[in-house]
Amino acid sequence: MSINLLLAATMLLNFMLVATSRVNKAIQLAAIQGSVLAVILLLMHEHWAFHVVLMALSTVAIKSVVIPILLTRAQARLKVIQEPPPYIGYTLSILLSALGTGLAFLLARRLPLQAGVLGTLFVPASLTTLFTGFLILTTRRRALTQVVGYLVLENGVYLFSLLLVKNMPLLVETGVLLDLVVGIFVMGIVINHIQQAFDSQDTQRLAHLRD
Amino acid sequence: MLASLFLATVLIAALSGLPGLLGKDLDGKGAARLLALSALGGLGVAGATLAGPGWALDLAWSLPGARFTLRGDALGALFLMPVALVPAILAHYGTAYWPDSEHDRAPTLRFCFGLAVAAITLLCFAANAILFLVAWEVMAITCFLMVASEDRDAEVREASWIYLVAAHTGTLCLFGGFALVASARGSFDLGPIPMGWASGLPGTLAFLLFLMGFSLKAGLMPVHVWLPVAHAAAPSHVSAFLSGLITKMGILGLVRVMTWIPDPPLWWGGTLLTVGGLSAVLGLAFALGQRDMKRALAYSTIENIGLIAMGLGLAGVGKSTGNGTLVMLAGSGALLHVLNHSLFKSLLFLGAGSVAHATGTRNLERLGGLLKTMPWTGALFLVGATAIAGLPPFNGFVSEWLIYLGAFQSLPGWAWGACAIFALCLAGGLALATFARLFGITFLGEPRSETTHLADESPQPMLSAMKLLAAGCALIGLAPFLVFPVLDRAVSSLGPNLPYLRTQASPGLLSLVNALGLGFAWIAWLSLRNMASRPSGTWDCGYAAPTSRIQYTASSFAQLLEEPFRWALWPVRHLPRIRGLFPGPSHFRTEVPDPVLDRGLKPLFTVSSWVLGWMRVLQAGHLPIYLLYVVLTLVALLAWTLT
């Protein structure tokens, strides 16, 4: 039951992420979402085996500490406070997000999943989070906010993978986390270069690069 | 034993350019030596394969369906002879023609050259479709890189792209052809196909795909588009390589296909004969119209490939009609012409390269009188020209003679053979005119531009390479009995129970004719030499002080012969405009653009690139849009799996 509450919290965090226009708030929200995921992981297991604890800790460390710090530092250096108006306005984004949540619930019923999963909010929550991540990625202009979008997207994937956690070896999950860190790292470098080349990190200017 | 020697040969050739890449091999002298070593190995393998029962090598390979299968047979050995010998000579020529001091790409070129040689060496014996295709692709790509050696020049870039498009279109066709053959045989191993398959739909389709794929490489009309541009754009020793050996790989493929099919339908041979006849006649008609020496030689390659295809077509007809003598004669003629053409066409391209090297131009209208400053190059070019025109005493005469004999042999049962004889005659005459023009305009008469005066004779490595090739031409011409046993063994794979070649064509008679030709040429040279030094009179009909303006130009020489072929050539004429009573000086110029490339394919590509340009709307340049594509694809996949 408490797991479902936390999953609902994740979905609410999604709405807040879509609605916020402040970059630092978006980073914080994504960090909180990461911690919530770690708690869900712990609650799923009655006996806290070593690898479960290790995974929860590393999740918190990477999603809620390392990456947010990296992003906040980048934000401070680049002096980005407010996101410029996105391609799709905030109100419309929230409406889309609501629509996506509804669709996720519909879809979750039709997916061929194990019986035990169906009663929980796992599948709708993860699909909604994935959708939110894509929404942020596609509608925001700042490269930094897009990185937050990647982070949220990964949270969705993570949620889905929690369903399989008993069967999933530690190594795979570590690999996914490592992927994320490397991805964010690369994006950080890319943002830096965009900033240097265009004197702005508005990704719209990248359109000049097409042939 | 032979297999390991062969693999060592391939390996040495493949790695011959490596020291150069590492900066350890100035001007590629080491690479030339390594290639000479691999040539010795290759000739040894070829000789032992021809003398012995043949060999095979079969190694496992991790690619699905592929095995590293080599089968040492006489046919492959015949192709291996020029493939081993000629590159070593070309590399030797390259040490002086493309030194490191003048071309910074020279080490890369030599590396690609070595890889290409290794690839075509493997092709000779490859007996697995995938191994064949891998070697084929290595050959195609290394040749692309060699053609693009001087890619600072926009024309060279365009030529290399045309080559690449042609090469890959051909490979695509081969994929289809080999897949059909594999389905008929049950594996990718290449070999005989059961009776009856050839006349069915898969057999027909496979033949058309193979014909297209291999013709694209060999340069048969109308898919010859890459030859003129790529041969003109590449450095001369690479042009010689392309023309002498790469095009022959297309022929190798066609011959291989013929050996697999026990019962080819009559129309296969007929088609090959028609395509070959068209290429032979029209290739020369185009060659006559060219002002660029190397483009003219490239069109002459198309003609020679056409002759070879005619020989193969006749052999195919012989196989279909059960005429063993026809298979033997025409097949031998075609295969001997493969060997011969790789010798004399390389010689001619090297000659053209020497001329371009000395004068800085390949434009015939600016050359002339080079025999005085470059006597050796001129004499060697003349040997090549005589050989390629099919005149005694050189090797071209022998192979063309055999193809003629084959064409006559086909007559009793198959009236279309008469058309082949007609095409052969026409091609022979046109070849004579083409090479009289090429040699005469370049080497005889008075220089047509200042640069020609300053020409010097080529340095020794270039000359010695050409001398070796000329010696090869003379050897096969004067002693054809040396190659007859080779041809016997190689052609025997084309059909069962073939008669011996020497019972059908007398090598002694050919030797005699060639020796007489040599004697006649010698007498003519002696008498002409005396004539040349004869003192001339005071006025002498204006010839006392000849200028370049009173000579035939390259265009005017060709004009008469081009006239009957206007329907195919579509020459562009820039006519002088004469206005008023005292018109000023004016110019007349004709050009012969390639009809297939310049009037067919290029406009087609322009239109298609305009149409496909609308597809660029998809490429907006905005990251979010690309991500949206990802989302939409995912949603579509999800929807597809759920329904």
* Per-residue pLDDT reduced to its tens digit, A51-103: 788 888 888 988 899 888 888 888 887 777 777 788 888 889 999 999 999 98
Is it the case that residue B439 has pLDDT exceeding 70? yes
| B187 φψ region: left (φ > 0), alpha (ψ -120 to 50), beta (else) | beta
pLDDT (tens digit, 9 = 90+) per residue, B477-496? 888 888 888 888 888 888 87
Cβ partners under 8 Å of residue B122, min gap 6: B10, B70, B131, B135
pLDDT of residue B84: 93
| B366-374 mean pLDDT | 86
Q: How far apart are alpha carbons B413 and B575 in whole angstroms?
A: 50
CB B284 within 8 A of CB B427: yes
Closest listed residue to residue B596, CA positions, set B215, B138, B325: B215
Q: How far apart are alpha carbons A12 and A105 in whole angstroms?
A: 15
Per-domain residue ranges for chain A? 2-84+106-202
Per-domain residue ranges for chain B? 1-263, 295-528, 595-642
Which range, A41-55, B20-34, B274-288, B581-595, has the best average confidence (pLDDT)? Answer: B274-288
| A105-130 mean pLDDT | 79
Q: Which of B624, B630, B642 sits opposite A110 (nearest CB)?
A: B642
- Beta bridge mates, B574: B589
With cut-offs at 50, 70 and 90, classify the pLDDT of residue B368.
Answer: confident
Q: Which of B619, B624, B638 sits opposite A137 (nearest CB)?
A: B624
Distances (CA, A) of B527 to B64, B256, B543: 68, 49, 20
H or E segment and range at residue B572:
strand B572-574
Q: Are strands B572-574 and B589-591 parallel, antiparallel or unpaired?
A: antiparallel
Q: Does A101 touch chain B (CB under 8 A)?
A: no
Q: Which of A134, A208, A209 sits opposite B627 (nearest CB)?
A: A134
Neighbours of B554 (CB within 10 A): 27
Helix, strand, coil % (nearest 5) of chain A? 80, 0, 20
pLDDT of residue A84: 78
DSSP per-residue letters across B200-246: SHHHHHHHHHHHHHHHHHHT-TTS-THHHHHHHHS-HHHHHHIIIII
With cut-offs at 50, 70 and 90, classify the pLDDT of residue A211.
Answer: low
What is the nearest CA distance from A65 to chain B, expressed in angstroms? 27
What is the nearest CA distance from B148 to chain A, expressed in angstroms? 23
Could you give the percent of chain B with pLDDT greater than 90? 43
With cut-offs at 50, 70 and 90, classify the pLDDT of residue B506.
Answer: confident
Q: Does B613 touch chain A (CB under 8 A)?
A: no
Is it the case that residue B550 has pLDDT exceeding 80? no
Is it the case that residue A210 has pLDDT exceeding 70? no
Q: Does A1 touch chain B (CB under 8 A)?
A: no
Nearest chain A residue (CA) to B628? A138
CB B96 within 8 A of CB B459: yes
Is it the case that residue A116 has pLDDT exceeding 70? no
Is it the case that residue B320 has pLDDT exceeding 70? yes
CA angle, B232 then B233 then B234, to 5°? 100
Residue B449, classed as helix, strand or coil, is coil
pLDDT of residue B537: 67
Q: Does A142 touch chain B (CB under 8 A)?
A: no
Is B631 in contact with A111 (Cβ distance < 8 A)?
no
Contacts of A111 in chain B (CB under 8 A): 642
Can you tell me which residue has the tokens 């299968």?
B69
| B212-228 mean pLDDT | 91
Q: How many residues does chain A have?
A: 211
With cut-offs at 50, 70 and 90, classify the pLDDT of residue B324.
Answer: confident
Is it the case that residue B154 has pLDDT exceeding 70? yes
Is A207 in contact with B638 (Cβ distance < 8 A)?
no
Residue A211, classed as helix, strand or coil, is coil
Q: Which residue has the higher pLDDT, B474 or B579?
A: B474
With cut-offs at 50, 70 and 90, classify the pLDDT of residue B301.
Answer: very high
pLDDT of residue B525: 84
Q: Which of B619, B627, B631 sits opposite A210 (nearest CB)?
A: B619
Identify residue B494 by its one-letter amino acid code: L
| B160-170 mean pLDDT | 92
pLDDT (tens digit, 9 = 90+) per residue, B59-114? 888 888 788 999 989 999 999 999 999 999 999 999 999 888 888 888 899 999 99
| B213-232 mean pLDDT | 90
Is A203 in contact with B623 (Cβ distance < 8 A)?
yes
Contacts of A139 in chain B (CB under 8 A): 624
Is B625 in contact with A138 (Cβ distance < 8 A)?
yes
| A19-41 mean pLDDT | 90
Is it the case that residue A118 has pLDDT exceeding 70? no
CB pairs under 8 A between A and B: 36
Is it the case that residue B254 has pLDDT exceeding 90? yes
Tokens linked to B197 = 């398959």
What is the b/e burial string over B349-387, where b = at least 16 CB atoms within 10 angstroms of the residue's CB? bbbbbbbbbbbebbebbbbbbbbebbebbbbbbbbbbbb
Is it the case that residue A206 has pLDDT exceeding 70? no
pLDDT of residue A117: 65
Compute the mean pLDDT over every residue in chain B, rounded to the nearest whole number.
87
pLDDT of residue A167: 61
Handedness of CA B501, B506, B511, B517 (dihedral sign): negative
Q: How far apart are the first and last CA of chain B?
A: 62
What is the nearest CA distance from B625 to chain A, expressed in angstroms? 7
Cβ partners under 8 Å of residue B511, min gap 6: B478, B479, B480, B481
H or E segment and range at residue B68:
strand B67-72
CB B482 within 8 A of CB B318: no
Contacts of B621 in chain A (CB under 8 A): 206-210
Which range, A200-204, B296-300, B585-589, has the best average confidence (pLDDT)? Answer: B296-300
Judging by beta carbons within 10 Å of its beta carbon (0-12, 13-18, 19+), is residue B57 exposed, middle or buried? middle
Neighbours of A22 (CB within 10 A): 13
Closest listed residue to residue B347, CA positions, set B280, B233, B430, B435: B435
Is A206 in contact with B621 (Cβ distance < 8 A)?
yes
Identify residue B170 by its one-letter amino acid code: G
Is A107 in contact with B624 (Cβ distance < 8 A)?
no
Contacts of A208 in chain B (CB under 8 A): 621
Closest listed residue to residue A156, CA positions, set A129, A120, A179, A117: A129
Is it the case that residue A114 has pLDDT exceeding 70? no
pLDDT of residue B126: 92
pLDDT of residue B605: 85
| B385-409 mean pLDDT | 89
Is A206 in contact with B642 (Cβ distance < 8 A)?
no
Which range, A109-118, B292-301, B479-488, B573-582, has the best average confidence (pLDDT)? Answer: B292-301
